[in-house]
Amino acid sequence: MAFNKKDKFINHLNNIAINLKESAHYFADYKLKNVSDLKIFSETMKEYETKGDTLVHQVIQDLNNAFITRIEREDILSLTMSMDDVLDGLESTAAMFEMYSITEADSFMIKFVDAIRLAADEIVTAVELLASKNLLNIRNHAIKIKDLESNCDGILRQSIKQLFISEKDPIRIIQYKEIYEQLEEIADSCQAVANTLETIIMKNS
């Protein structure tokens, strides 16, 4: 089955995915130098998150008013909410950086964020393919997202192990561990997006 590129819900999903990608790239590329940068970083991520909430509201409103949808309603909603969970996680992590006055990401945080950025790129490509004739192409991108999440599982184990070896400040241990775990949860949310995409493939191929 092919979906019309002008389909309202395909366009909504694409807009949500693009906003997510832009936020993930901003998060990954922003250079923190001092505490004042943290405020700008956190506020900008909040703007992305607020825009995402508006886009989600539009999907829900249109779902309530739609008589027939080309993709099943629950799959549209699931894909919408799982993408929104990724963005919510990024915004929450940015707030943690500001709250804990962390102005320099360590190597583990950078690895997490790079993986999440790549996953966001894959999500955009996969959502764009919903409007194409060959939904099976989406599966390759879903697999890549899952591979990136699996890599994040390993990064989490390594980061926490190294944290307890090298960090002596108990407060810093708590703060960094929380951020590591939050970043891994974002990767889990990316995997949830991949799972929903695969469900859509199964139902519509």
Rounded average pLDDT over 13-22: 97
Residue-level pLDDT at 121:
97
Residue 2 pLDDT grade (very low, low, confident, very high; cuts 50, 70, 90): very low
Q: pLDDT tens digits for 34-93?
A: 888 999 999 999 999 999 999 999 999 999 887 777 788 899 999 999 999 999 999 999
The whole-angstrom separation of Cα 122 and Cα 163 is 30
Residue-level pLDDT at 6:
64
On whether the pTM is more than 0.85, the answer is yes
Name the more confident of 205 and 14. Answer: 14
Residue-level pLDDT at 136:
80
Residue 1 pLDDT grade (very low, low, confident, very high; cuts 50, 70, 90): very low
Q: pLDDT tens digits for 171-190?
A: 999 999 999 999 999 999 99
Residue with tokens 């989490």: 156
- Mean pLDDT taken over the chain: 92
Q: pLDDT tens digits for 121-147?
A: 999 999 999 877 667 889 999 999 999
Residue-level pLDDT at 4:
52
Residue 5 pLDDT grade (very low, low, confident, very high; cuts 50, 70, 90): low
CATH topology of domain 8-204: Methane Monooxygenase Hydroxylase; Chain G, domain 1 (1.20.58)
Read out DSSP for the chain? ----TT-HHHHHHHHHHHHHHHHHHHHHH----SHHHHHHHHHHHHHHHHHHHHHHHHHHHHHHH-S--SS-HHHHHHHHHHHHHHHHHHHHHHHHHHHTT--S--HHHHHHHHHHHHHHHHHHHHHHGGGSS-TTHHHHHHHHHHHHHHHHHHHHHHHHHHHHHH---HHHHHHHHHHHHHHHHHHHHHHHHHHHHHHHHHHH-
Q: pLDDT tens digits for 101-124?
A: 998 889 999 999 999 999 999 999
Residue-level pLDDT at 14:
94
